[in-house]
């Protein structure tokens, strides 16, 4: 076995990462923050004009502003490096990596199924999309794409569309908050809460669900889930109406967003930008329509486009997309009722975990019936369970790329297998990572305040960007 060779850990000299000749701790914190005696201002509140006056008094030609990585309006730990002329941004660069957690590397040391629990944490606002992309690529590697039960695909679509709504709600809510509209934020988070309650009822967790598994989903939706989601959809429609009334014709919002963060189709194509940003240029590109997966071709919905190429149109697209998602959710509910009792996992017992989950006295765990069977009556079942859970299943060597239309754009997953029980390589093409490159194109030449709006209209989530 060459893939995860144990000898590498003993021989530091052979590893390119650990050069013993390096003095001190090579991974220690760097102290090289020398700014060459340039004057440094630390801004934390106060009047911006005072600062500008003070800076201009020094008659320096360039003012470089480090916005972030700990700035509340940069969507987490995004660092924006802005070069200013007065209040006009002449150059903008994004600095990322502050939330890098090595998820892709870690996934190479867990089984294929365990990988789901890692990738769900990348973009923490769209956990289901990472899980779906990862599982679709594994299923392609296994060659079982056609054998995924219909009910599993329906549940996947249901969960993905609810995730899309919740992600868009956060995009609008935090975007509004960054412009100073706290009501938008509270409404957005309040509505998202309803969706998180659905997730909790179905998966047991509000975020980081690890619900979609290779071969299907972890467990069937519980009794009463269909009615619950139906109720939530009605409530969401009301809440969305409220948001719409707050935002769509709001003159303050329009003043802040119309014409801001402009990026046309040429720019989007050059920079590989997908998702609502691309659709705000009028191009109806949506993988759910153009390259359907999980049976999206059988659902009735529209791809929303607008032609303003600006932050306002992206906001409007997100609102309209949420209504389309709710339409899909309602269609999945009908199908869930029709497929009641059908399997949610692929038939192959070499891939599907034998246990269903159940609520016990000490929380969620394997169902007691299953425990009784493997501990009391069937030793073969016990062996099988043990092998599958500890060792995992093997995936034939090769590579696959599966992409889903996440709330932010194309989320692709490139997996390579060497025939083992763990991914040889799992790479995620996160839409935020790619789209964040457009910050410079959107912001240069605009005001500092517009940078916030432009970044919010991309809707980056640093967990996904840095992985």
Q: How far is the CB of 333 from another protein (least distance, A)?
A: 28
Q: What contacts 24+ positions apart, CB below 8 Å, involve 389-393? A: 389/353, 391/111, 391/421, 392/111, 392/112, 392/113, 392/114, 392/421, 392/422, 393/111, 393/112, 393/113, 393/214, 393/350, 393/351, 393/421
* Options 50-58, 128-136, 353-361, 417-425: segment touching another protein (CB under 8 A): 417-425
Is position 418 an interface residue for another protein (rule: CB under 8 A)?
A: yes
Is position 233 an interface residue for another protein (rule: CB under 8 A)?
A: no
Helices 150-178 and 311-338, packing angle to 10 deg: 150
Is position 214 an interface residue for another protein (rule: CB under 8 A)?
A: no
Q: How far is the CB of 412 from another protein (least distance, A)?
A: 5
Distance in angstroms (rounded) separating the CA atoms of residues 381 and 386? 8
- Interface pattern 106-125 for another protein (x via CB under 8 A): x-xxx---------------
* Options 185-193, 210-218, 328-336, 397-405: segment touching another protein (CB under 8 A): 397-405
Q: How far is the CB of 429 from another protein (least distance, A)?
A: 5
Q: How far is the CB of 433 from another protein (least distance, A)?
A: 7
**DSSP character at residue 208:** S
| 305 prior amide bond cis, ω within 30 | no
Instruction: Identify residues 32-61 at the interface with another protein (CB under 8 A).
Output: 32
Is position 148 an interface residue for another protein (rule: CB under 8 A)?
A: no
Tell which one of 205, 283, 358, 449 touches another protein (CB under 8 A).
Answer: 283
Instruction: Identify residues 6-25 at the interface with another protein (CB under 8 A).
Output: 6, 8-9, 14-19, 22
Instruction: Identify the CA nearest to 141 among candidates 348, 401, 342, 444.
Output: 401
Distance in angstroms (rounded) separating the CA atoms of residues 317 and 372? 52
Q: How far is the CB of 303 from another protein (least distance, A)?
A: 12
| Residue matched to tokens 């691309």 | 278
Residue 172 sits at φ, ψ, to 5 deg, of: -70, -45
Is position 414 an interface residue for another protein (rule: CB under 8 A)?
A: yes
Is position 140 an interface residue for another protein (rule: CB under 8 A)?
A: yes
Is position 412 an interface residue for another protein (rule: CB under 8 A)?
A: yes
Distance in angstroms (rounded) separating the CA atoms of residues 74 and 451? 9
* Options 41-49, 151-159, 252-260, 411-419: segment touching another protein (CB under 8 A): 411-419
């Amino acid at each position: 076995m060459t893939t995860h060779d144990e000898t590498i850990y003993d021989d530091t000299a052979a590893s390119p990462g650990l050069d013993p000749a390096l003095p001190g701790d090579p991974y220690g914190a760097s102290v090289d923050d020398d700014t060459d005696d340039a004057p440094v201002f630390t801004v934390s509140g106060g009047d911006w004009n005072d600062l500008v006056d003070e800076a201009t008094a020094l008659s320096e030609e360039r003012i470089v502003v480090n916005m972030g990585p700990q700035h509340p309006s940069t969507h987490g730990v995004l660092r924006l490096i802005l070069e200013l002329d007065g209040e006009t941004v002449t150059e903008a660069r994004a600095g990322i990596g502050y939330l890098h957690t090595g998820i892709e590397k870690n996934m190479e040391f867990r089984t294929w199924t365990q990988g789901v629990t890692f990738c769900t944490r990348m973009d923490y606002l769209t956990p289901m999309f990472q899980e779906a992309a990862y599982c679709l690529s594994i299923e392609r590697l296994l060659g079982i794409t056609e054998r995924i039960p219909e009910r599993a695909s329906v549940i996947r679509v249901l969960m993905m569309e609810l995730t899309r709504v919740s992600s868009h709600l956060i995009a609008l809510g935090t975007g509004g908050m960054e412009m100073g509209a706290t009501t938008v934020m509270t409404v957005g988070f309040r509505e998202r809460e309803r969706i998180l309650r659905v997730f909790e009822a179905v998966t047991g967790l509000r975020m980081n669900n690890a619900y979609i598994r290779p071969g299907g989903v972890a467990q069937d939706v519980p009794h009463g889930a269909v009615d619950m989601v139906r109720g939530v959809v009605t409530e969401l429609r009301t809440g969305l109406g409220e948001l719409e009334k707050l935002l769509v014709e709001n003159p303050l919002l329009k003043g802040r967003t119309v014409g801001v963060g402009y990026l046309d189709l040429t720019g989007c194509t050059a920079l590989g930008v997908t998702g609502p940003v691309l659709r705000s240029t009028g191009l109806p590109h949506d993988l759910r329509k153009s390259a359907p997966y999980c049976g999206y071709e059988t659902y009735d919905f529209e791809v929303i486009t607008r032609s303003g190429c600006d932050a306002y149109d992206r906001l409007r697209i997100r609102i309209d997309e949420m209504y389309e998602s709710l339409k899909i959710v309602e269609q999945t509910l009908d199908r869930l009722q029709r497929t009641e009792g059908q399997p949610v996992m692929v038939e192959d017992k070499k891939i599907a975990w034998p246990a269903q989950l159940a609520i016990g006295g000490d929380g969620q765990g394997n169902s007691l019936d299953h425990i009784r069977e493997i501990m009391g009556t069937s030793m073969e079942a016990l062996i099988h369970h043990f092998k599958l859970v500890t060792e995992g299943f093997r995936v034939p060597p090769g590579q696959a790329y599966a992409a889903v239309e996440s709330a932010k754009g194309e989320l692709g997953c490139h997996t390579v297998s060497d025939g083992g029980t763990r991914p040889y390589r799992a790479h995620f093409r996160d839409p935020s990572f790619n789209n964040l490159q457009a910050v410079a194109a959107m912001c240069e030449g605009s005001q500092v305040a517009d940078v916030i709006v432009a970044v919010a209209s991309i809707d980056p989530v640093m967990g996904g960007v840095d992985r």
